[in-house]
A = this chain, B = another copy of it.
Amino acid sequence: MTTTSTKQEVLSKERLRLWLRMLRVTRQVEAALREKLRVEFDSTLPRFDVMAALYRDRDGLKMNELSKRLRVSNGNVTGIVDRLADDGLVERIAIEGDRRATRVRLTSAGRDAFTTMAVAHEGWVNALLDDVTVEDAHHIGELLHRLPAKTGEQAQ
Contacts and interface: CB of A to CB of B under 8 A. Distances in A.
Chain A interface category by residue count = 35 or more
Contacts of A122: 12-13, 16
Contacts of A14: 134, 137-138, 141
A48 to B, nearest CB: 12
A103 to B, nearest CB: 25
B128 A21 contact: no
B151 A131 contact: no
Interface string A1-37: 0000000001111111111011101111111100000
Interface of A: 10-19, 21-23, 25-32, 71, 122-123, 125-134, 136-141, 143-152
